[in-house]
Structure 1
Amino acid sequence: MKGTAYLVQGALISLWWLGLAISDDFYNAFQFPEISKVAFNSFLAPDILIITFLSILRAYKTSRDLELIILGGFAYGCLYCLNASILSSGGYLSTTIMFLGLFYNLFLVYQSGLFRESRSRNPLTNALKTILQILSVWSITLILFPWIIIDAFEIETTSSQAIKILSYIIFVFSSILGLSSAYVLVKYGNGTPLPADQTQKLVVIGSYKYVRNPMAIAGMGQGLAISLYFGSIHILIYTIIGGLLWHIVVRPIEEKNMFKRFGKDYQMYHEKVKLWTPKFGKTPYKMHN
């Protein structure tokens, strides 16, 4: 699973540099004002050698040292980009991408300690933590990141009124799906949606009896709605990449943890309920307390 994650990382960075090479609009979106193209392009060799090449190497060779070197490369890049954004009052998309890469690699390196069962059985406490989590995640993924993309690519809203209405409908329904899914996790699972504060019980009711991860579907729907509203292919690509990374990288790790914690119950649930395609009908099996 880790190998695939590093291979995907190497591929994405290679595609990013390819995009910079063939598209002026793409290149300009990542530029820092008042910083020369020579200074920007000087990151090509470090990116290819330290991050891309080592990521591909790590995909086929298990090595903690390689993981830490790659993580260090992202940490250095983040500090450089953050300083450049502060000094130039721009380049926010580049800085954002670097920090996303840093958090991605922190997840890969320290994933074993990130999946923990909630210690609280208090519904109010878990509800408050869930609300805080949702507000934080939505603020970052649905407001901040799209705004950075819109600003970098100088996107102007071109969608018709009908498309905007459609985007409202998709966003509202997706949000309801996400909120209702979080609600059943808190009420019936004794935990939260946060991987570091997981439910103590396997939840197979509500939206979870139709699909295994309705919150992922909700997030994809919200991203689609925002891309439709602004008529932005860039936000749509951002949404698709986010969904693919969750599916390829996060999901297998999360499901491995679920198999370990819930055993045969989760195995039966996993076999009977699809990940993306809703399965309508009764709960796959009776939940054991």
Structure 2
Amino acid sequence: MKETAYLLQAALISAWWVGLASNGVFFAAFQFDAIPSTAFWAFFAPDVILIAALSTVRAYKQNSAIELVILGAFAYASLYCVNATVLTASGYLPTGLMLLGLAYNGFLCFSDSAFRVSSTSMTWNAIKTLIQTVCIWTMALVIVPYVILDAFDTFALPSMDIWLIIGGLLFACFSLLGLTSAFFMVRDGAGTPLPLDQTNHLVVSGPYHYVRNPMAISGIGQGLAVAIIFQSVPLLIYTALGVLIWQLVVRPIEERDMTRRFGESYVQYCRHVSCWIPTFGRRGT
């Protein structure tokens, strides 16, 4: 599971540097004002050796020391980017990307201890779910898209056209799916939708009766809707990367933990209910 995650990381970093070297618009989107591009290229060798190359090695050789070296490399690069952003009031995209990479590697290093079961208080879980929803939706659907659009100089308020109508309807539908799924997580699961604050019970009601991951489908659909509203290829790529990381990295780790906690009940649930495609004709679990 981790092997795929590190191999994916190595591939994405390599593709990122290829994009920087081959496309001027892409390169400009990741620059800091008043910092020459030479300083940026100075990170090429450390990035390729300490992150991309070591990620490839870790994909084929299980070694916790390698994981910590990669995490340390991300931590140093993240600190540099944060400092550069503070000094220049620019470069929010590269800084945000490095912080996401840091969080990604922190999750990989400590995934075995990252999951915890939530409290059994429905009121407290509802409050936490509301806070999680506001924070995650604000970050993933407002702040990150704005930073991406601004970095590529394509931010503009959407005009009243067919794309806005289609995107708006999709956003409303997928948001309703997410809120409904969260409700059943709290009511029947005695927990929250966040994998780091899990349910106490396996949820097979509501949208979970038809598909295993309605929350993920909701988030992907919302991202697609935002990309349609702004007619933005970078936002479409952002959504596609989210799908890739969730499918190849987060899902296997989460499902392993669910199997450990719920045992045969979860195994049987997976046999009857698809991960992505709703099975409306199913009866029971």
Q: Report the TM-score range of the alignment, normalised by the length of the smaller protein.
A: over 0.9
Q: Which residue of the partner structure matches residue 268 of structure 1?
A: 268
- Letter paired with 2:128: K
1:126 counterpart = 2:125:
yes
Q: Residues of 1 paired with 2:145 and 2:217: CA distance?
A: 18
> 2:236 is aligned with what amino acid?
L
Deviates more, 1:188-197 or 1:217-226: 188-197
How far did 1:197 drift?
A: 1.6
Which amino acid is 1:270 matched to? C
Q: CA RMSD in A?
A: 1.1
> 2-side partners of 1:241 and 1:222: how far apart?
14
The equivalences for 1:162-173 within 5 A come to 162-173=162-173
Once residues 150 and 186 of structure 2 are traced to their aligned partners in structure 1, the CA distance between those partners, rounded to angstroms, is: 37
Tell me what 2:84 maps to.
84
The sequence identity of aligned pairs, in percent, is: 50
- Pairing of 1:2-21 with structure 2 (within 5 A): 2-21=2-21
User: Which residue number corresponds to residue 278 of structure 1?
Assistant: 278
Aligned 1:1-289 pairs, distance under 5 A: 1-118=1-118, 120-157=119-156, 161-285=161-285
Residue pair 1:223, 1:235 contacting (<8 A) in 2 also: yes
What TM-score do the two structures reach when normalised by structure 2? 0.98
In 1, are the aligned partners of 2:185 and 2:191 still within 8 Å (CA)? yes
Kept after mapping to 1: 8 A contact 2:116/2:198: yes
Once the two structures are TM-superposed, the CA of residue 159 in structure 1 deviates from its matched residue by 6.5
CA separation in 1, counterparts of 2:284 and 2:259?
16
TM-score (norm 1): 0.96
Letter in 2 for 1:122: S
Q: Matched residues in 1 for 2:160 and 2:22: separation?
A: 30
**Residue pair 2:50, 2:70 contacting (<8 A) in 1 also:** yes
Summarize deviations over 1:42-66 as a string: whole Å, max 9, x none. 1100000100000000000011100
Q: Distance in 2 between matches of 1:276 and 1:67?
A: 31
Q: Which runs of 5+ in 2 are unaligned?
A: none
> Given that residues 272 and 282 in structure 2 are in contact (C-alpha distance below 8 angstroms), is that contact kept between their aligned partners in structure 1?
no
CA distance in 2: counterparts of 1:52 and 1:282, whole angstroms: 44
Q: Distance in 1 between matches of 2:85 and 2:253?
A: 34
- Residues in 2 aligned to 1:197 and 1:166: alpha-carbon distance in whole angstroms: 34
Measure the CA separation in 1 of the matches of 2:283 and 2:113: 31
Residues 32 and 85 of structure 1 are in contact (CA less than 8 Å); yes or no, is this contact kept in structure 2?
yes
Number of aligned residue pairs: 284
Show CA shifts across 1:126-159 (max 9, x none): 1001001111111111111001001100114476
> What one-letter code is carried by the residue in structure 2 that aligns with 1:53?
A
Code of the residue aligned with 1:140 in structure 2: it is M
Deviation per CA, 1:173-197, whole angstroms, max 9, x where unpaired?
0000000000001001111111222
Is the CA contact (8 Å cut-off) linking 2:146 and 2:155 kept in structure 1?
A: no
Partner Cα distance (2:13, 2:160) in 1? 34
How much has 1:116 moved relative to structure 2?
A: 1.4
Deviation at 1:283, TM superposition (A): 4.6
Q: Shift in Å at residue 284 of structure 1?
A: 3.2
